[in-house]
Structure 1
Amino acid sequence: MTTNGAPYAGQSLIDTSIFTTLQSKIDEESTVRDELKEIVDKLSKQGRTTQSILSRIHNVPSQSVGTEVLDPCMKALEEQRNSVSSLAEAASKFPFYKYNFVWQREIQNVVSSFQLWHWLSSGKLKSIEEVGEYFRGEFAILFAPTVPVNVKDADTFHITIEDYLLALCSTIEELARLATNSVTLGDHARPLQISKFIKDVYAGFQLLNLKNDALRKRSDGIKYSIRNVEGVVYDLSLRGLVPKDEDTMKME
């Protein structure tokens, strides 16, 4: 009993089940993170393989890129594609913005690798919708026809616009590096092709009103990539090594 409603000395003033319930929720969230991290770790390991293959473009002649880089890279990307689809299926069971930090970096990396592979194959850029279509993987029937992109009205896994654009910035940086190394390998047409492409991409970025500070800073960096590639093209021009227009168009 109590006096005037006051508890006896030593009697708890709170219901300890409150904290027991909180611990259960903490354990549950930890289990979810571990489940997602297991898939992301697999995706990360596959990504290192993909990036290792793509790095060969800096020391492989253009005529050998198909067999030595593009073909093995396609197989590596297919493995990542299935992991992304698995991640999409698992992550869509939980609130997106509560857990997206677990996979955000790896999604950007794999999208960047895919864009670079596709550019090396065709000289073109994939839209965010086309990226989503590619990464549907083996769970297309069970999960969805595509990995969702830029979802606004549902709390499900998706590739965000920010992820897509940040990945594209990384692709541009790698292409700027390739422009210099192509000259070393005796390929004088590729820097012109790269120069035109990244200038077109930067023109697209200028149409955007970016609110994300990190994204705005990364996109501003494209200017430096353009400047570096322009320096390579200018040097080729001074040495009379710029290919004729018809040769460049044929390559593109």
Structure 2
Amino acid sequence: MDPRDLESLNSLLEQDVGVSENIKEQVKEFDKRIRTIVGILGKIHSTPSHSMPELLDSVDPVLHSCSEITLAIADVIPPDQFWRWKDMWSNSMRSAVYAAALIQYLRNGTLLSLPRASEILGINGEWKDRFSLPVEDYLHGLISMVNELSRYVINAVTLGQFEEPVRISNFVKEIFSGFTMLNLKNDSLRRRFDSLKYDLKKIEEVVYDVSLRKLVPANPPVQ
């Protein structure tokens, strides 16, 4: 091989190693912050409704600080190479979406949109060739939120919040209906979608139980 070609190839390899190492460093910090967030959110299962706003507020600074990570990653990704490197932080991104979506539901009973998730995580639309929030990662995050709500609904009843299962049931039914209208070609996403059926069934069983015991009014308020 021509020595000049070898030199060029070595330069490209070194560049790739540099990008990879920089990303690993940022993802390590990303994961650390996500663990902190998930740890705090784990307390929702033992937190009464009147204390929930304070708990959620305590998560905000850590969640919003993740924008520092997305900026740092975007800065090291070469133009038009987002899809080459994205798998290195996909799991972290899905967990961040899960946290943001769960917080939004617990605050006001609404579904986090993809643009709003990108905004919370500080993702700039001008980075689209280097860094963005893929639809697949957003949807994975929503599924994780529903998984957590199916657990939360049982603990809410234990805490005496008997109307919460009905609100969560209505919310999850809307999400499930939306997923059924999506063309899910991603195998991983399609398999995880199946878990929504079991989550919905579990939630409906709790609703049936509290209704049978007359722990909720005949027409409970919809959040």
Q: TM-score, normalised by structure 1?
A: 0.82
1:86-138 Cα shifts (integer Å, max 9, x gaps): 323433646111111111111111011101111111100121112222222xx
Root-mean-square deviation (Å) = 2.0
Instruction: Give the secondary structure class of the aligned counterpart of 1:156.
Output: coil
> Does residue 1:194 correspond to 2:168, yes or no?
yes
Structure 1: distance between partners of 2:152 and 2:125: 31
**Structural mapping, 1:78-97, within 5 Å:** 78-91=64-77, 93=79, 95-97=81-83
Identity %: 34
Structure 1 residue aligned with 2:16, among 21, 29, 37? Answer: 29
Structure 1: distance between partners of 2:105 and 2:71: 23
Q: Note the C-alpha offset of 1:66.
A: 1.1
Change (3 A) 1:33 1:185: same
Contact 1:147 1:159 in 2 (8 A): no
> Does residue 1:217 correspond to 2:191, yes or no?
yes
Structure 2 residue aligned with 1:176, among 117, 131, 150? Answer: 150
Return 5+ residue gaps in structure 2 as ranges: none
Structure 2: distance between partners of 1:243 and 1:84: 46
Structure 2: distance between partners of 1:85 and 1:226: 37
> Does residue 1:132 correspond to 2:118, yes or no?
yes
Structure 2: distance between partners of 1:180 and 1:122: 20
Structure 2 residue aligned with 1:100, among 73, 77, 86? Answer: 86
- Aligned-partner residue type, residue 125 of structure 2: P
> Does residue 1:148 correspond to 2:122, yes or no?
no
Structure 1: distance between partners of 2:213 and 2:192: 33
Instruction: Give the secondary structure class of the aligned counterpart of 1:37.
Output: helix
Change (3 A) 1:89 1:17: closer
Instruction: Give the secondary structure class of the aligned counterpart of 1:242.
Output: coil
Q: Would you identify which runs of 4 or more consecutive aligned residues in structure 1 move more than 6 Å?
A: none
Contact 2:46 2:155 in 1 (8 A): yes
Contact 1:85 1:135 in 2 (8 A): no
Range 81-90 or range 96-105, more displaced: 81-90
Structure 2 residue aligned with 1:245, among 207, 212, 219? Answer: 219
Larger radius of gyration: 1
Structure 1: distance between partners of 2:151 and 2:217: 20
Contact 1:233 1:242 in 2 (8 A): no
> Does residue 1:164 correspond to 2:100, yes or no?
no
What is the aligned length?
223
* Greater share of residues in helix: 2
Structure 2: distance between partners of 1:81 and 1:213: 29
Contact 2:147 2:196 in 1 (8 A): yes
Structure 2 residue aligned with 1:119, among 89, 105, 113? Answer: 105
1:155-188 Cα shifts (integer Å, max 9, x gaps): 2211111111111111110111100111111111
Structure 2: distance between partners of 1:133 and 1:78: 10
Contact 2:64 2:120 in 1 (8 A): no
Contact 1:92 1:157 in 2 (8 A): no
Q: Which has the higher contact order (CA 8 A, sep 6+)?
A: 2
Instruction: Give the secondary structure class of the aligned counterpart of 1:245.
Output: coil
**Structural mapping, 1:228-243, within 5 Å:** 228-243=202-217
Structure 1: distance between partners of 2:2 and 2:131: 37
- Aligned-partner residue type, residue 124 of structure 2: V
